[in-house]
Amino acid sequence: MEILKVENLRKEYGDGNNKVIALDGVDLEIERGEFVAIVGPSGSGKSTLLHIIGGVDSPNDGKVYIDGNDISQYSSKELAYFRRRKVGLIYQFYNLIPNLTVRHNIELPLKLDKREINEEELLNIVKKLGIENKLDSFPSELSGGQQQRVAIARSMVYSPSIILADEPTGNLDRKNSKEIIETFKYFNKTLKQTIIIITHDEEVALEASRIITIVDGKIVGDEINE
């Protein structure tokens, strides 16, 4: 059953001689529970695609369906609710709030949405990520790998429909990169969590079950990775 459907997605920046076509008629379907890597050269449009799927950016044309809902028609307020409830966004530089503890960073999406915190579920997530003894620490007291684990926990705590990760290992060494990807694979297999990763790293891409290649705003490859 598809969880994501993108139809004829177009995104342009600038105008006249400065116009850049970031996405040029992209069509894409992703099934619930897939682990997908999106690859391509810098400027190919892969991050733009991820940001539109995540409701961070809006297309010039086309439609994006998540769980059957066309988010490309949402207002700014509806998109804010959507981001807090349906997608878990993970970035290369973690985006943690420095003056909040690890626990409070993880709980923040739930608190913004005035939802109750399931302590058992939170503890299960942080234990799997190996940060259960860091809940009272601040981001500055953590290594890069630990900060990315906090970002993952924050994205998982509200059980989103899709996890979207933009170069999640781009700021990590090889050991931490491997551990982060193994964590994604665990959540994908055990919780059937749908995960889409943008990456330049071939080794990271090869861990996904499906690899989509974008060049010049168009999908030029879509392969199942056995």
Residues of the chain where predicted confidence (pLDDT) is lower than 50: none
CATH class of this structure's domain 2-95+161-224: alpha beta
**Are 27 and 10 spatial neighbours (Cβ–Cβ below 8 Å)?**
no
Average pLDDT, the chain: 91
Report pLDDT for 11: 94
**Are 24 and 62 spatial neighbours (Cβ–Cβ below 8 Å)?**
no
The string of DSSP codes covering 125-185 is HHHHHT-GGGTTS-GGGS-HHHHHHHHHHHHHTT--SEEEEESTTTTS-HHHHHHHHHHHH
Bridge partners for 37 per DSSP: 197, 211
Phi and psi angles of residue 175, each rounded to the nearest 5 degrees, phi first: -65, -50
Q: How far is CA 107 from the centre of its chain?
A: 18
Report pLDDT for 164: 94
Report pLDDT for 176: 86
**Are 70 and 63 spatial neighbours (Cβ–Cβ below 8 Å)?**
yes
Q: Parse the chain into domains and list their residue ranges.
A: 2-95+161-224
Report pLDDT for 14: 86
pTM: 0.90
